[in-house]
Amino acid sequence: MDWARIMAPLSGGEADRKVIAAAAAIAEPFGAELAAVHAPADVADLIPWMGDGFMGGVQATAVDSIRQAAAEGEKAARAALEACPYSNKSFISLKSPVWAALALEGRLSDVVVFDDGSARGKGPLAEAFQQIVADEQRPTVVARSGLKLGGVAAVAWDGGKEASRAMRTSLPILQKARKVVILTVPGSSAKKCDPPRLVACGAQRGRCGTHAREGGEGGQRGYPGGGRLRPSPPAGIHFRRNDADTAEFGLSVAISLSLNARSFGEPMSLSRIVMRLARNPGTEFSGGDDHRGYALTAPLTPDGHLDAGAYAKARDACVVRRFAPDEDPADGRLAKRGARWFFDYDDEDPMDDEPVYRLGEHRFAVGEYVTVTDEDGRPLTYKVVEVQPA
Question: What string of DSSP letters covers 200-223?
Answer: HHHHHTT-TT-EEEE--GGGTEEE
Among residues 165, 186, 113, the alpha carbon closest in space to that of 313 is found at 165
Q: Is 162 within the bounds of a domain?
A: yes
> What's the confidence (pLDDT) of residue 222?
35
- Do 190 and 252 lie in a common domain? yes
Residue 330 in domain: yes
Domain edge (last residue) among 117, 142, 167: 142
Residues 118 and 166 in one domain: no
* CATH code: domain of residue 101: 3.40.50.620
Q: Are residues 108 and 230 in the same domain?
A: no
Task: Specify whether 256 is located in the same domain as 284.
Answer: no
Residue 60 neighbours by CB distance under 10 Å: 10
What average pLDDT score do residues 192-213 get? 65
Domain boundary among 237, 264, 291: 264
Assigned domain for 210 exists? yes
Averaged pLDDT, 183-205: 71
- Whether 284 and 253 share a structural domain: no
Residues 259 and 332 occupy one common structural domain = no
> Do 134 and 32 sit in the same domain of this protein?
yes
Number of domains comprising the chain: 3
Same domain for 13 and 112, yes or no, is yes
pLDDT of amino acid 79: 96
Interval 108-134 mean pLDDT: 87
pTM, two decimals, is 0.60
Rg (CA), the chain: 23
Decide if 125 is inside a domain: yes
Residues 12 and 132 in one domain: yes
Residues 194 and 104 in one domain: no
Nearest Cα residue to 194 out of 167, 226, 221, 234: 167
Residue 374 CB burial class (10 angstroms; 0-12, 13-18, ≥19):
middle
Q: Are residues 207 and 283 in the same domain?
A: no
Domain limits for position 328? 271-389
Quick: pLDDT tens for 223-258: 333 333 333 333 333 333 333 333 333 344 433 322
Residue 284 exposed, middle or buried by CB count within 10 Å (0-12, 13-18, 19+)? exposed
In a domain, 147, yes or no: no
